[in-house]
Chain A
């Protein structure tokens, strides 16, 4: 099934797109959809991956809500995912 990632701020620049559609198996988790996204966009992977998983400054959102880091959440067709980084400018 299709799920779409939306990317904010510097993450969109690393991915070179504000939205990226990925194909995952039915019943896939958010973490699996994230792997699809990152394998498609290596510069983004370099930005958000750390040894322990996902960098602590990147928030994963599903349907407009923060998942609190729970990447095991199962996806349904049409779900919208997003990666949101903090920004500091003022």
Chain B
């Protein structure tokens, strides 16, 4: 949509946005002109994709190479019983079409790799990392940090979640400022082995969608330089300040990583020794 004026259906659909001064017709147009790429259509991606679509984010890329399994349905609420065995991007795209026909969906049934990242992520206004493994997370971080693309990060573990936003505007930190290397493989178990509270990614993913929408609107304070931690057991949130780290291997003063091609996204996601 390029015309500022919404048609009657659009005005009705987005009435509760348009009526707010912080959004208005101009803000709604920014959302409709927005392009967000969501990496992962699982627990986090489910609320992210649905809320972005409902909000009217005009173009949504969805990247996932998995198919829907019954054990996903306890938390991955964009998929249903009838989607078992289907590619996740397919059922996610169908849900978006049902929620909001205004949205263009780019469904990529593939894995994000150093080879595919430039094609899949370039041109996005915001990338949302809703993936489930460190290799993809470090790749998203490195690509977005190097290309200056804002990145919403969310991750979950059993009853705990983390969320932050890296604006990648040359001032704030990136994920490697806080965690320079990925953990040794096998150190931090995944959802399949530890389990995860089903509603947890709903909370964390909704925060990520909030950040993406705020960024597109240009309103509010993003979690840039702040990591929000959420403990569902104690129902408590805490904020950790993250500063840009001069020794950061991506955005530091003498970065070791100048291209995602420099990095081996296996194991600890480091630059291989010569």
Contact = CB atoms under 8 A, between A and B. Distances in A.
B191 A89 contact: yes
A86 B155 contact: yes
B45 A9 contact: no
B131 interface: yes
Contacts of B239: 64
B143 to A, nearest CB: 17
Contact of A8 (B42, B129, B177, B229): B229
Interface in A57-90: 57-59, 61, 64-66, 68-69, 82, 84-90
Interface stretch (B8-16, B210-218, B241-249, B253-261): B241-249
Interface residues of B, number: 49
A90 B156 contact: yes
A21 interface: no
B157 A9 contact: yes
A89 B190 contact: yes
A7 B20 CA distance: 41
Contacts of A85: 179, 183, 188
A84 B178 CA distance: 9
B191 A57 contact: no
Interface in A2-17: 8-10
Contacts of B33: none
B263 to A, nearest CB: 14
A8 B179 contact: no
B184 A86 contact: no
A85 B242 CA distance: 13
Contact of A90 (B131, B238, B241): B131
A88 B155 contact: yes
Nearest to B181: A56
Given A56-B179, A61-B240, A66-B242, A88 B229 contact: no
A54 to B, nearest CB: 11
Most buried by B among A9, A84, A87: A87
